[in-house]
Amino acid sequence: MSKGFYTKIAADNIKKNYRLYVPRILAEAGLFASFYILFTLALDKRLGEAVGGSVLPTLMGMGTFIIGFLSLILILYVNSFLMKQRKREYGLYNVLGMEKRHIVKVLFFESLIASAVSIAIGVVFGMLFYKLSSLLICRLLRSGAVPGFYYLSAPTVLFPMLVFVGLDLLAFLAGAVSILRLKPVELLSGARTGEKEPRTRWALLVLGVLSLGAGYYISLTVKSPLAALFLFFAAVLLVMVGTYFLYVSGSAFVLKTLKKNKRFYYDPKHMPAVSGLLFRMKKNAVGLASIAILATGVLVMISTTVSLYGGVKDTMETNYPQQLYLSAFINDKDLTQRVPVEDLKAIVSETAAQMSVEIDHIDSEKLLIVSYLMRDNRLLTMKETDGWKAEEITNVIYITEDTYKNIRGVASVISEPKGLGLKKDEIAFCRISTMMNDVGSQPGSITINAREYRIKEHLAYFPIASNTTGIVSVVGIVVSDDDVLNDIYTAQKEAYGEHASEFADRIGVTFADEAAVSSVGADFDRTVGEKLKARYPDGLSYELDTKWESLKNVLELYGTFLFLGMLLGAVCLFATILIIYYKQISEGYEDRRRFQIMQKIGMEERAVKRTIGSQLVMQFFLPLITAGIHTAFAFPILLKLLKMLMLTNTALFVVCSLAAFAVFALVYAAVYLLTARTYYRIVH
């Protein structure tokens, strides 16, 4: 047989089964376009060099990997569905005299045509929407738009093509193997092969309850943002495992319980639905659990990224009540001396006059930086130890609660309505940078100078940055008042002698016109640095922390997160719709014969519709409810993760979460109504 023969049969088959192949082609085209957009964004140097675009390559690269993984799962899922629906047709070819190797050739050309059309559409969509995506990125970063369409290059087109050709080849091989290993009678009956009534798998049921409970427990009990960061993925994995196990085993348990309820079960509205679900629940459960997990992913990604971006202003006002903070010191051999606060004020004032911006007022803040060895939650000086190990060195930045309040500003009251309220023997603790062996550890108390201080609050953010680099850990500690700080100063003075640390001074500057100084921010920063170096040419080190530079960095991170969250959320939503659609078609074909029999034995058409509605509502709205429950239990751990990114507005996150669920529920309901019509047309 010529290749043209197989190609003609394959093309005719796709036309006859357009209801199955059109969604498959559009799905792969959408996945290809998403993959292409993220991959091209990662490689587009113009965007990476734009204002606020430095993190784009890394985050877009991560997004490309996620899209590729989702594409693998969805393409294999769609392929398994198509094979189940087409097995009877392939079996008929076999019975009529076509050998299996010829059937595999037909399958190959079907896959080739579908893949070629999908990739061609995906390339067009990807190129069109890439420009829109780059404009959106620039808008989110508040950066100038990158002109032209110069992003087209061989790697950005060829690599996605190779990836998706590989995925399609993998799907074809899986289909070919399933054809070659089945007998003709199995091929003929493949599309009608049902599921046996599932047993209640008590082991899976117990494991599901324990896994889901453990995931929820982690989210509800995690104390600190740093611990939340490292426990989040464990919680996600536990919830996913628990969801699959409970849908597979728990659904059978619930349906059998409903079946035992005679009042509920022996009702024309319920009996066909419960009975049908019970006999097919093994396969349905996996699909429904997948829908629930994807839906949860959509809700989490959209609510968190929108909250972050929408809370930029609040984040800046909370963490930068003043627009500029400056501290400086001079390294002279083994001694470190702080630059006098009067010099810092003079330099900033000179720069402001030079830039024609007006200063409203300048405040000074006192802090103390001391080096210790951290052992068993004890901060030890050299006098208290027999030797120093580099991996144990910890630099501690001390400030008083009054200084903390002044730096954080009035806006911090949103997240800390009662303030820290520290007593003499209490501190607030924050890991600014940490060694790997300390990651995730959250002590309940710290011993300093043989005195134990209870940690009342683990802070997600410390308002004073560290200029220490290298292998040492840095923590921030807030003490109750000057008396406690002076005691700590005196103790380290006795321990270190002439090498002891002195109180450091940092100035905070508030400008009369914030917009005016922000417009010359880069020049202001550079001029301050030049003046400092001119006055202290040897051994100078300074820390300049400005609101305008931080705003650029925050927009860079949050804007990229928002774009990535929107795109990944859209892909997950698309995957959810695709699974629902194919599930409705699959079950429509499986139920058509059963409902035709019911009508022949006297069941009215209205009763058939009512039965279909009851079954679909029970089956397809369960994942939506599950996603809502998962998101609600994830709220505490997500809130702590957002605090690590400096978002303190809990009310904003609540509103965004509720809005995301409401919008998703409307889309989900619309998809349900559309696919239910398709299901009914097939059944009827």
Contacts of 353 (CB under 8 A, 6+ apart): none
Q: CA 277 → CA 204, 533, 594, 614, distances in Å?
A: 19, 76, 13, 11
Beta bridge partners of 398: 368, 477
Reported confidence tier of residue 136, pLDDT bands at 50, 70, 90: confident
Q: What is the pLDDT of residue 629?
A: 92
Cβ proximity of 585 and 679 under 8 Å: yes
Cβ proximity of 138 and 37 under 8 Å: no
Query: Three-class SS of residue 251?
Result: helix
Average pLDDT of span 321-329: 83
Query: For the purposes of burial, counting CB atoms within 10 Å of the CB of 543, is it exposed (0-12), middle (13-18) or buried (19 or more)?
Result: middle
Instruction: Say how far apart CA 505 and CA 341 lie, in whole Å.
Output: 6
DSSP type of residue 384: G
Does residue 123 have a pLDDT over 90? no
**343 or 410: which leads in pLDDT:** 343
Residue type, 519: S
Cβ proximity of 668 and 295 under 8 Å: yes
Rg (CA), the chain: 32
Look up tokens 């050309």; give the residue.
109
Average pLDDT of span 459-470: 64
**Alpha helices, DSSP H only, in 453-546?**
482-496, 514-519, 521-535
Instruction: Say how far apart CA 458 and CA 425 lie, in whole Å.
Output: 15
Reported confidence tier of residue 124, pLDDT bands at 50, 70, 90: confident
Q: What is the pLDDT of residue 434?
A: 53
- Element spanning 224, H or E: none
Average pLDDT of span 182-210: 66
Reported confidence tier of residue 109, pLDDT bands at 50, 70, 90: confident
DSSP state string for 112-153? HHHHHHHHHHHHHHHHHHHHHHHHHHHHHHT-PPPPSSTT--
Average pLDDT of span 504-509: 82
- Element spanning 212, H or E: helix 202-221
Q: CA 543 → CA 299, 371, 508, distances in Å?
A: 39, 18, 12
Please name which of 397, 373, 377 lies closest in space to residue 474, comparing C-alpha atoms.
397
Give the up-direction half-sphere exposure of residue 509: CA atoms within 13 A in the CB hemisphere.
30
Does residue 55 have a pLDDT over 60? no
pLDDT tens digits, 666-682: 988 888 777 777 777 77
Does residue 439 have a pLDDT over 60? no
**Alpha helices, DSSP H only, in 44-55?**
45-48
CA 236 to chain centre: 11
The whole-chain average pLDDT of the chain stands at: 77
The two tokens of residue 308 are: 């972050």
Count Cβ atoms below 10 Å from residue 565 Cβ, excluding itself. 22
**467 or 249: which leads in pLDDT:** 249
Instruction: Say how far apart CA 574 and CA 30 lie, in whole Å.
Output: 9
Reported confidence tier of residue 415, pLDDT bands at 50, 70, 90: very low
Please name which of 282, 281, 107 lies closest in space to residue 182, comparing C-alpha atoms.
107
Cβ proximity of 414 and 653 under 8 Å: no
Q: What is the pLDDT of residue 166?
A: 92
pLDDT tens digits, 547-592: 888 887 777 777 777 777 777 777 777 777 777 777 777 667 666 6
Domain boundaries defined on the chain: 1-193, 202-320+546-684, 321-545
Please name which of 178, 175, 540, 120 lies closest in space to residue 326, comparing C-alpha atoms.
540
pLDDT tens digits, 5-26: 778 887 887 888 777 788 888 8
